[in-house]
Amino acid sequence: MTLHAMTRAVTLRTPIAMLLATAATASADFTVVLGAQNADQWFAGVGPCRTADFTGFPESTQITDQYAALGVQFSFPGSAGNGVQGNSFMYPQDGRGIVGVRQIIMSFDGPMRAFAAYYPGDVRFAFYSGSSLLYATTLTSSSANNFAGFTSDAGFDRVVLSANEPVNMGLFVDNVYFSAVPGPACPADLDQNGAVDGIDLGVLLGAWGPCSGTCPADLNLDGAVDGNDLGTLLAAWGPCGG
């Protein structure tokens, strides 16, 4: 499959924020939304997302498996590791972000179809399925509060964010958002027997509480099975498609 990248709002045309996208050869179709002023467009198209905002952690906390309940693990091959950092200019979404050296790698428990990030400066985004590179692009900017949102027709299970040249520079990321490959047309049918019924209710109640790893009963993707998911299941009660 050849690359077909649709870029909506490719350039922020201010002297301090010139944003350029350079796409590499890929084996999946990606749609790219660029610019903080266009972020709502991406969120509206993707729907419910899981979010890692790096708030609630002390300064310099090393982030690894703290977001495992959302289905993502962080790793950092740079010798300096990574750390949570507070800075309202660099991270205007909530004043907290993460800084790494060379790369920040996010590995997902299952295939994702959408990913987005707010970030300052330059970042190279690369999307993988297993060892196969699906898509990569380098975004350069001299400003903070940049936004890049990606959706794909193929699932990816790893996103690698890399610093631009020189590669040993710091890499800064504000919030990140991601969404799984769409499930069946009847997501509350947890046992996939064609109906939402007492069996599915039992599965949901058995998974009650914070998610750990794959969590199909977390119907609204907020990292926990709770009353919101129960309400969604009860609203879908009966035969699927009925």
What pLDDT does 27 receive?
67
In contact, 159 and 137? CB cutoff 8 Å = no
What pLDDT does 78 receive?
62
In contact, 129 and 155? CB cutoff 8 Å = yes
What pLDDT does 107 receive?
96
What pLDDT does 216 receive?
84
What pLDDT does 204 receive?
95
Contacts of 146 (CB under 8 A, 6+ apart): 12, 17, 19, 34, 35, 36, 118, 119, 120, 121, 123, 139
All domains in the chain, ordered by first residue: 6-180 (2.60.120), 195-239 (no CATH)
Greatest Cα pair distance, the chain, in angstroms, is: 60
Per-residue pLDDT of the chain (242 residues), as tens digits, is: 332 333 333 333 222 333 444 444 456 789 999 999 999 999 888 877 889 999 999 999 999 999 998 889 998 876 556 789 899 988 999 999 998 888 899 999 989 999 999 998 889 999 999 999 999 999 988 788 999 999 998 889 999 998 876 555 678 899 999 988 665 678 888 877 778 999 999 999 999 999 876 688 888 888 899 999 999 999 999 988 66
What pLDDT does 165 receive?
65
What pLDDT does 221 receive?
81
Q: Using alpha carbons only, what angle is made at residue 21 by residues 84 and 166, rounded to the nearest 5 degrees?
A: 55
Number of Cβ atoms within 10 Å of the Cβ of 26: 22
CA distance 216 to 228: 14
What pLDDT does 143 receive?
84
